[in-house]
């Protein structure tokens, strides 16, 4: 394997050829913010928050798509870089609801973290704002397109799963948004709610419906569990608050497959202290029923208890 040597913020670093500046910085423990970058999916280079200064290059290149070269000098927090990041954050905040106090992602939002880090309190850019309705048309995922920063991580993650590609960029310019086919609500699309899009969303555009209002991220502890319903080995996280398990969320799918309903629902039944009550359709409406009724065991149980 061939290597290249470079300096990042004056620190000498040697990395294998083909390594991006972002990965080299991370190997050296140097922070560079990212929004659209995800090491598990192809490089994208869309958000530009990861820009760095490299003398000899005309503009500030995005570190997540720029490969290291021999003798390269990189500066990750120069005045020009910080100014560019502040402008990017202001542009994003110009069209992002400032409702952090009630947002489920408060404390777990990269936009919030970076605004804090770079001291961006508000946007100097004013103009038309997006006003999309909330999409909670399905049992698992709430989509708030007004909070979407169009980083495309959900799209690329969904596209990386064979036979999925349920969402993509739609429309143009100011109207660009993430859409399903024909821009239907998620509940009317081919989405199987594997939830990988939620796990990669860096802001509050995609959140877990079953967890809505159940607690702040810093109040929850997480325990990683591996699904045992088949041999794929998908991993989930059991979230608990005050000693009670309140949710099971997907983490990594095994073998690049979508996380299946069997695993997700089965693990909810297994780990949740208060699993959701089963529902049956009666007279055209879903109503909560007992487990005995849902499983058709009422007759048997009544005979056993006589």
State the minimum distance, in angstroms, from the CB of residue 170 to ligand FES.
Answer: 20
State the minimum distance, in angstroms, from the CB of residue 21 to ligand FES.
Answer: 10
State the minimum distance, in angstroms, from the CB of residue 259 to ligand FES.
Answer: 25
Q: Which two tokens stand for residue 244?
A: 């009670």
Binding residue for ligand FES, selected from 24, 30, 62, 227, defined by CB under 6 A: 62
Q: Pick the closer one to ligand FES by CB: 25 or 234.
A: 25
Q: Which of residues 35-54 bind ligand FES (CB under 6 A)?
A: 35-37, 45-50
Q: Which of residues 137-166 bind ligand FES (CB under 6 A)?
A: none
Q: Pick the closer one to ligand FES by CB: 23 or 104.
A: 23
The angle, 0 to 180 degrees and rounded to 10, between the axes of the packed helices 79-93 and 110-117 is 130
Q: Which of residues 18-37 bind ligand FES (CB under 6 A)?
A: 34-37
Site string for ligand FES, 63-102 (x = CB under 6 A): -x--------------------------------------
Q: Pick the closer one to ligand FES by CB: 21 or 198.
A: 21
Q: How many residues bind to ligand FES according to rule CB under 6 A? A: 12
Q: Is 264 in the site for ligand FES (CB under 6 A)?
A: no
Cβ proximity of 50 and 22 under 8 Å: yes
The CA angle 252-256-259, to the nearest 5 degrees, is 55
Q: Pick the closer one to ligand FES by CB: 84 or 211.
A: 84
State the minimum distance, in angstroms, from the CB of residue 200 to ligand FES.
Answer: 13
DSSP of 63-100 = TTT-B--TT-EEBSS-HHHHHHHHHHHHHHHTTS---G
**DSSP E strands: which ranges in the chain?**
3-8, 11-16, 73-74, 141-143, 167-170, 177-180, 206-208, 221-226, 235-241, 244-252, 279-282, 285-288
State the minimum distance, in angstroms, from the CB of residue 44 to ligand FES.
Answer: 7
- In the chain, alpha helices (H): 21-27, 79-93, 110-117, 153-159, 196-200, 261-271, 291-294, 298-304
Strand 177-180 relative to strand 279-282, pairing: unpaired
Q: Pick the closer one to ligand FES by CB: 36 or 142.
A: 36
Q: Pick the closer one to ligand FES by CB: 96 or 264.
A: 96
Which of 167, 230, 220 minimizes the C-alpha distance to 196?
167
Q: Pick the closer one to ligand FES by CB: 62 or 158.
A: 62
For ligand FES, the binding residues (CB under 6 A) are: 34-37, 45-50, 62, 64
């Amino acid at each position: 394997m061939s290597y290249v040597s470079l300096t990042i913020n004056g620190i000498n670093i040697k990395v294998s050829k083909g390594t991006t500046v972002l990965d080299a910085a991370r190997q050296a423990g140097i922070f560079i913010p990212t929004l659209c970058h995800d090491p598990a999916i192809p490089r994208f280079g869309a958000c530009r928050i990861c820009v760095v200064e490299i003398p000899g290059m005309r503009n500030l290149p995005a570190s997540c798509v720029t490969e290291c070269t021999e003798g390269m000098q990189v500066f990750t927090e120069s005045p020009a870089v910080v100014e560019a990041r502040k402008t990017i954050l202001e542009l994003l905040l110009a069209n992002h609801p400032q409702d952090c106090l009630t947002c489920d992602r408060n404390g777990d939002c990269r936009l919030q973290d970076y605004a804090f880090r770079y001291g961006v309190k508000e946007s100097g850019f004013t103009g038309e704002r997006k006003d999309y309705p909330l999409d909670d048309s399905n049992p698992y995922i709430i989509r708030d397109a007004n909070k979407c920063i169009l980083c495309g991580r959900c799209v690329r993650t969904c596209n990386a799963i064979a036979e999925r590609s349920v969402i993509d960029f739609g429309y143009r310019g100011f109207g660009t948004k993430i859409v399903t086919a024909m821009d239907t609500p998620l509940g009317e699309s081919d989405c199987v709610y594997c939830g990988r899009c939620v796990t990669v969303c860096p802001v509050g555009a995609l959140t877990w419906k079953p967890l809505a209002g159940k607690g702040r991220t810093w109040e929850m502890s997480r325990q990683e569990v591996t699904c045992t319903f088949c041999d794929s080995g998908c991993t989930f996280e059991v979230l608990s608050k005050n000693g009670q398990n309140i949710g099971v969320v997907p983490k990594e799918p095994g073998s690049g497959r979508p996380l299946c309903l069997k695993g997700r629902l089965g693990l909810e039944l297994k780990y949740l202290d208060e699993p959701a009550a089963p529902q049956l359709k009666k007279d055209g409406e879903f109503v909560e029923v007992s487990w005995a009724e849902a499983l058709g065991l009422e007759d048997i149980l009544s005979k056993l208890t006589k």
